[in-house]
């Protein structure tokens, strides 16, 4: 700049001022200068002046309190004093109301102006509008807060990692890993994945896939935990972040395991059930066979367990069973298999290739531990077990055979006074021993009400009408299925078990007659077979009368079947009983007629409604002349005595036609219908009725 011509100088200076002003007014910063003394404004650019609603000229000479307001000045004064006193610059942020009614964020920098002597004579004020910046920051902070809130609120584990390095993890994720946040931050994410899964998870990370998959993490204590990963990629601070939701699969798997467990285990004791035991045994047999090894199967049944249940209640019974299960398990080796077959039956498989003597020792040990008194609800009770043992391979080649034989041996032990163990011997499989087993089981079946009645219709040969049905007992054995009466009735008769069974049959049949009658399904008599002991028992007729009265059933809906043999004793008392029954309306049939030696004269004096011709005569009709002669004679004779006849066991149309042609009144047999459970009988009745309509 040329300085000798003052006029030029002034022009030049003015030009400089104009340029400076231009510059000052066009920088995106508000600029002002205040004197230290009096805090008056000596310079302000347009930005500064307009920020406070003024212009560059009018702000000059005003104090900063006059410009920015007393309230703001009071807050800022200390900062100004500080920079002037300490000769340091300072900056602060504050909000200003914006022209649009919103808020402006400004960043203010204060710089001290020192003169040549180092005295602070003024202060430069530089103000930048940082509203945009603050808004962006705020938005970011809000979104991060949202994310943080979400992460913490999530019940599922969430882990963030950048380039494989963990940047954040929420409490559930940390709990799953057994770690604290500082322990995982900055660590490779793969470190927390189960070792066998690292390759796979690493591949997913490298590929950047957004997928959901099942894998496993590793807890600090080394436990491998099954999890599901749900992986997403996010943009965060301009970086690619990976978010992994870690879902604990233990519950889901525990559910599956529990379902599996329930299907294979007994809920009360947690022991494998019958099915699971048989599966395991089936799997073991080929190995034992190949190695020539011996296995021992112990069938354990508690003696008189039912009494505990009956006297102390089911809870006490359950507690006792749990104790017994625990005692059995504790007394055995780890490799031995224990199962509960239901009720009070436990089965043990000793797998250690043990000789009989060692097996006997184990059995005696079990007898001792199981029989020890148990505290149940304040009472000390003791139930002894009976144990039957079968050995593989000599006592059976299949699980079924081994179990059945151990079972048989167990009943044998029971019959020998209980609290004992017996090895299976082939002779036990013979009838006498089978009876023993059956007898013992039969008594239990009576208590447990394992019987059902099936009903077989009886039809008129004249018009096809339903004239009655016979109630036939079956034993619904829990393991052996339906057992027919011939297999247990003779035994029950000989062991005085027939009375309670017969009572039940009568009661059930009368109840059924009532239901069918009320339902309008059938108002025909239900025929009940009587056993000798039942018919001869004191007060039998009174009992029938009471039963009918209790149930409100007419006597005509009941028929009793007696065998010829039952009619032969003490004629007077038999006739008296029958007449009293007849008086109740109860009908009387003679069953299996032709097999006994009833004389005609004998029958004549008894109130009998019908004769049932034994099926052994029907079976060989019409070809067999002997059968034909007898059946024909029975029909004739019965008619002569005013009794109706029923042909039993009619299986073919030829048999039916033959007896019908001879004037037989009714038939019962598989040709028409086999004995059926009550529900099936009802279906049969309905189907028949709809056919007739």
| Residue 564 in the binding site for Mg ion (CB under 5 A) | no
Q: In the bound complex, what is the minimum distance in angstroms from residue 520's beta carbon to ligand C2E?
A: 26
DSSP string, 371-426: HS-EEETTEEE---EEEEEEEETTT-SSHHHHHHHHHHHHHHHHHTTSS-EEE--G
Q: Which positions from 406 to 445 touch ligand C2E by CB under 6 A, shown as an x/- string? A: ----------------------------------------
- Nearest-angstrom CA–CA distance, 508 and 85: 112
Task: Name which of ligand C2E, Mg ion, none residue 598 binds, using a CB cut-off of 5 to 8 Å depending on partner kind.
Answer: none
* Closest distance of CB 545 from ligand C2E, Å: 19
Q: Which does 670 bind (CB under 5 to 8 A by kind): ligand C2E, Mg ion, none?
A: ligand C2E
d(CA 324, CA 626): 62
The nearest distance, CB 252 to Mg ion, in angstroms, is 58
Strand order in the sheet with 385-392: 337-342, 345-350, 295-302, 385-392, 421-423
Tell me how far apart the alpha carbons of residues 447 and 501 are, in angstroms, rounded to a whole number. 10
Q: Which is nearer to ligand C2E, 395 or 561 (CB)?
A: 561
Question: Do 643 and 430 form a contact (C-beta atoms < 8 A)?
Answer: no
Number of CB atoms found within 10 A of residue 413's CB: 27
Is the Cβ of residue 151 or residue 650 nearer to ligand C2E in the bound state? Answer: 650
167 binds ligand C2E (CB under 6 A): no
Name the segment binding Mg ion (CB under 5 A); options: 491-499, 583-591, 597-605, 617-625: 583-591
Among 56, 564, 592, 665, binds ligand C2E (CB under 6 A): 592
Structure token digits, residue 636: 């004739």
486 binds ligand C2E (CB under 6 A): yes
Pick one of 168, 266, 439, 561: the residue that binds Mg ion (CB under 5 A). Answer: 561
- Nearest to residue 612, comparing CAs of 652, 560, 552, 675? 560
Question: Quick one: what does residue 651 bind among ligand C2E, Mg ion, none, with the CB cut-off 5 to 8 Å set by partner type?
Answer: ligand C2E
Interatomic CA distance for residues 227 and 156, integer angstroms: 11
Q: Which is nearer to ligand C2E, 405 or 656 (CB)?
A: 656
Considering beta carbons, is residue 344 or 559 the nearer one to Mg ion? Answer: 559
CA atoms of 415 and 590, how far apart (whole Å) = 37
Task: Determine the 3-state secondary structure of 619 from DSSP.
Answer: helix
- 8 Å CB contact between 392 and 288: yes
**Tokens (6 digits) for 561:** 């079947």
Strands (E), 83-179: 90-97, 103-114, 120-129, 157-162, 165-169
Q: Which residues on neighbouring strands pair with residue 452, listed in sequence order? A: 474
Provide the minimum distance between the beta carbon of 607 and ligand C2E in the complex, in angstroms, as a whole number.
20
Give the max Cα distance, the chain: 174
Q: Does 670 bind ligand C2E (CB under 6 A)?
A: yes
- Footprint (CB under 5 A) of Mg ion, residues 635-674: 648
- Our measurement of the distance from residue 224's CA atom to the centroid of its chain's CA atoms, rounded to an integer in Å, reads 26
Q: How far is the CB of 578 from Mg ion (least distance, A)?
A: 16
- Site for ligand C2E contains 651 (CB under 6 A): yes
Kindly state whether residue 669 participates in binding ligand C2E, applying the rule CB under 6 A.
yes
Closest contact distance (angstroms) between CB of 623 and ligand C2E is 17
Please give the Cα distance from 617 to 691 (Å, whole number): 32
Which of Mg ion, ligand C2E, none lies near 273, with the C-beta cut-off 5 to 8 A by kind?
none
- Tokens found for residue 669: 């047999």
> 58 or 670: whose CB is closer to ligand C2E?
670
Q: 408 or 563, CB closer to ligand C2E? A: 563
591 binds Mg ion (CB under 5 A): yes
367 makes contact with ligand C2E (CB under 6 A): no
The upper half-sphere exposure of residue 471, i.e. CA atoms within 13 Å in the direction of its Cβ, equals 27
Integer Cα distance of 560 and 554 in angstroms: 14
Q: Which stretch binds Mg ion (CB under 5 A): 30-38, 514-522, 559-567, 630-638?
A: 559-567
Among 20, 254, 368, 484, binds ligand C2E (CB under 6 A): 484
* Other C-beta atoms lying within 10 Å of the C-beta of residue 92: 12
Distance CA 11, CA 476 (A): 127
Q: In the set 332, 505, 613, 659, which binds ligand C2E (CB under 6 A)?
A: 505
Choose the binding region for Mg ion from 163-171, 429-437, 491-499, 586-594 (rule: CB under 5 A): 586-594
Encoding tokens for residue 65?
A: 């309190």
Q: What residues numbered 621-650 form the site for ligand C2E, per CB under 6 A? A: 648-650
Q: C-alpha angle 184/189/195, rounded to 5°?
A: 110
Of ligand C2E, Mg ion, none, which one does residue 399 interact with (CB within 5 to 8 Å by kind)? none
User: Which is closer to ligand C2E, CB of 112 or CB of 649?
Assistant: 649
Which residues between 522 and 561 bind ligand C2E (CB under 6 A)? 529-531, 561
**Contact residues for ligand C2E, defined by CB under 6 A:** 456, 472-473, 484-486, 489, 502, 505, 529-531, 561, 591-592, 615, 648-651, 669-670, 675
**Contact residues for Mg ion, defined by CB under 5 A:** 529, 561, 591-592, 648
């Amino acid at each position: 700049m040329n300085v000798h011509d003052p006029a030029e100088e002034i022009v030049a200076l003015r030009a400089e001022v104009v340029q400076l002003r231009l510059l000052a007014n066009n920088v995106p910063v508000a600029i002002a200068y205040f004197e230290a003394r009096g805090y008056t404004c000596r310079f302000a650019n347009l930005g500064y002046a307009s920020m406070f609603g003024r212009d560059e000229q009018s702000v000059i000479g005003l104090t900063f309190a006059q410009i920015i307001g007393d309230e703001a000045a009071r807050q800022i004064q200390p900062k100004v004093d500080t920079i002037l006193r300490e000769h340091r610059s300072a900056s602060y942020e504050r909000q200003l109301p914006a022209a649009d009614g919103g808020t402006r964020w400004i960043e203010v920098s204060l710089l001290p102006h020192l003169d040549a002597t180092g005295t602070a004579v003024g202060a430069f004020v530089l103000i930048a509008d940082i509203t945009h910046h603050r808004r962006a920051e705020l938005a970011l902070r809000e979104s991060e807060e949202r994310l943080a809130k979400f992460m913490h609120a999530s019940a599922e584990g969430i882990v963030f990692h950048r380039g494989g390095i963990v940047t954040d993890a929420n409490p559930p994720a940390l709990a799953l890993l057994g770690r604290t946040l500082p322990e995982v931050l900055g660590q490779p994410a793969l470190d927390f994945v189960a070792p066998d899964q690292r390759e796979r998870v690493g591949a997913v990370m490298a590929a950047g896939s957004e997928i959901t998959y099942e894998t496993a993490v590793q807890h600090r204590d080394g436990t491998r935990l099954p999890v599901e990963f749900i992986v997403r990629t996010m943009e965060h601070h301009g970086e690619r972040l990976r978010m992994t939701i870690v879902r604990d699969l233990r519950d889901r798997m525990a559910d599956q395991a529990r379902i599996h467990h329930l299907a294979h285990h007994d809920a009360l004791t947690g022991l494998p059930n019958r099915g699971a035991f048989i599966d395991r045994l089936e799997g073991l047999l080929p190995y034992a066979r190949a190695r020539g090894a011996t296995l021992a199967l112990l069938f354990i049944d508690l003696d008189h367990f039912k009494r505990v249940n009956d006297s102390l209640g089911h809870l006490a019974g359950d507690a006792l069973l749990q104790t017994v299960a625990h005692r059995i398990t504790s007394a055995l080796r780890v490799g031995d298999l224990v199962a509960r077959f239901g009720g009070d039956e436990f089965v043990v498989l000793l797998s250690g290739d043990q000789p009989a003597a060692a097996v006997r020792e184990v059995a005696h040990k079990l007898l001792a531990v199981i029989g020890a008194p148990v505290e149940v609800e304040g009472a000390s009770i003791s139930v002894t077990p009976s144990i039957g043992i079968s050995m593989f391979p000599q006592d059976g080649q299949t699980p079924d055979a081994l179990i059945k034989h151990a079972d048989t041996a167990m009943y044998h032990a029971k019959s020998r006074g209980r609290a004992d163990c017996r090895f299976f011997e082939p002779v036990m499989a013979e009838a006498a021993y089978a009876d023993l087993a059956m007898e013992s089981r039969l008594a239990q079946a009576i208590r447990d009400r394992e019987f059902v009645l099936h009903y077989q219709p009886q039809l008129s040969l004249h018009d096809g009408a339903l004239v009655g049905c016979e109630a036939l007992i079956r034993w619904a054995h829990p393991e052996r299925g339906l057992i027919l009466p011939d297999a247990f009735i003779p035994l029950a008769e000989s062991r005085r078990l027939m009375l309670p069974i017969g009572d039940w049959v009568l009661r059930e049949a009368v109840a059924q007659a009532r239901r069918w009658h009320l339902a309008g399904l059938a108002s025909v008599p239900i025929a009940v077979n009587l056993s000798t002991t039942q018919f001869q028992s004191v007060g039998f007729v009174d009992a029938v009368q009471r039963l009918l009265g209790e149930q409100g059933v007419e006597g005509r809906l009941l028929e009793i079947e007696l065998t010829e043999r039952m009619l032969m004793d003490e004629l007077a008392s038999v006739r008296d009983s029958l007449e009293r029954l007849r008086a109740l309306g109860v009908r009387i049939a003679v069953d299996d007629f032709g097999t006994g030696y009833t004389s005609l004269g004998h029958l004549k004096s008894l109130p009998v409604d019908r004769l049932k011709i034994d099926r052994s005569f029907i079976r060989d009709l019409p070809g067999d002349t002997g059968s034909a002669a007898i059946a024909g004679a029975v029909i004739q004779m019965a008619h002569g005595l005013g009794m109706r006849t029923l042909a039993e066991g009619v299986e073919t149309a030829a048999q039916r036609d033959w007896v019908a042609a001879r004037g037989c009144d009714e038939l019962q047999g598989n040709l028409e219908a086999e004995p059926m459970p009550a529900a099936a009988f009802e279906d049969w009745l309905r189907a028949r009725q709809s056919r007739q309509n």
